[in-house]
Chains A and B, each alone.
Chain A
């Protein structure tokens, strides 16, 4: 069973606020990923990391930023939230030598 956690699970916030979505995993995985998924729609990769101090932008352009200061922690930050950022954000991780990704439960963000 995957041990990957996301907080908060639900967040409703006003336009212009700065938010940080937390993602942590206890499996020692080097690779971590952030996806954005609208209801009933496909997963879109927005950020990924192959290890500490490594971050890359994904296939879908996003105004969010990420950091990877510790192996187990991969937070995503939005400096100024807008209604267009309303979506579900999913974090995933994978170990070296495998592409199998394990997902967290997701954070459902609503920006009013």
Chain B
């Protein structure tokens, strides 16, 4: 079983919809949680970064972390066609034994159609 599980989708929604992307994980040592967006044939771009449990909002994006359930989410409000991309969750234990390495989910392919 993978340390991080992410529904690969694909997910197709109409413009303006609220999108929910999720990851579950098994390593309780994970403390830092990130969401990346990757357009086709490009490198991943950091979207959100959170530490421990709680919510963080940035414009149309909200990241949630529930460490007790080992579950993280990314919500996209008022989704736009330009949001069409692959979304990757990533997490780390903050140095510990992983020496700064990130564990990535498999990525969720999102398409927002006009």
Q: Which residues of A contact B (CB under 8 A)?
A: 2, 6, 31, 33, 40, 42-43, 45, 48, 50, 58-59, 88, 90, 92, 94, 99-106, 108
Counting chain B residues whose Cβ lies within 8 A of the other chain, the interface size class is 20 to 34
Report whether over half of chain A's contact residues are helix, strand or loop; otherwise say mixed: strand
Is B95 close to A, CB under 8 A? Answer: yes
Assembled-state Cα–Cα distance A48/B45 (Å): 19
Number of A-B residue pairs, CB cutoff 8 Å, is 50
Assembled-state Cα–Cα distance A50/B106 (Å): 25
| Contact between chains at B43 and A90 (CB < 8 Å) | yes
Query: Chain B contacts of A102 at CB under 8 A?
Result: 46
Q: A43-B44, A99-B100, A105-B42 are in contact. List 20 more A-B contacts (CB 8 A).
A: A2-B46, A6-B43, A33-B101, A43-B88, A48-B99, A48-B101, A99-B92, A99-B94, A99-B95, A99-B101, A100-B32, A100-B49, A101-B46, A101-B102, A103-B36, A103-B43, A105-B43, A106-B41, A106-B42, A106-B43
Assembled-state Cα–Cα distance A31/B42 (Å): 21
A1 to chain B, nearest CB (A): 10
Task: Knowing A99-B92, A99-B100, say if A104 contacts B107 (CB, 8 Å).
Answer: no
Query: Chain B contacts of A50 at CB under 8 A?
Result: 99-100
Task: Knowing A42-B107, A43-B88, say if A99 contacts B102 (CB, 8 Å).
Answer: yes
